[in-house]
Amino acid sequence: MSIAVGSAAPDFTLKNQEQKEIKLSDFAGKKNVVLVFYPLDWSPVCTNEHACMVNEMKAFETLDAEVLGVSVDSVWSHKAYAEKMGIRYSLLADFHPRGAMSEKYGVYLPEKGITGRSIIIVNKDGKVAWVKNYDIPVVPDLNEVAAALQQVKTATA
């Protein structure tokens, strides 16, 4: 069951592809956060999704948002993937215990051992402002995400 809009976003600390610890609470009062949950590095749909995200980063930056990718892959997989794809935003390793952070957000699929495809926007107040779950083979519509982020930015301005 996915997390509800309006609820407090569970805080977390996960390492990114540079071995840096990233905490959700570090962005409180500073930036909206776009959590991009995806099944696995290197899979075709995820690769398309991240290619689109890389191309749209300027738009997300103008919307005062920090993009954080999240999957159950290791830091090392994320590092190789980010280098290959030209990804400059953090890819967080929800690796051990596997899917523990994703589970808090209701997007971990234990029967498959992967994170589902979902985008969750957390506003500067640390509240869940927008949630959209996608079928695994579907690339999210980033224009829809940007429009939702614009509404969140306007609401918190």
Q: Which residues carry out catalysis?
A: 46
Phi, psi dihedrals of residue 50, rounded to the nearest 5°: -70, -35
**Starting from the edge strand earliest in sequence, which strands make up the sheet with 65-71, in order?**
90-93, 65-71, 32-37, 117-122, 128-134
Determine contact, residues 116/36, Cβ cutoff 8 Å.
Answer: no
Instruction: Collapse the DSSP code of 141 into the 3-class scheme (helix H, G, I; strand E, B; otherwise coil) and give the result.
Output: coil
Cβ neighbours around 151 below 10 Å, total = 13
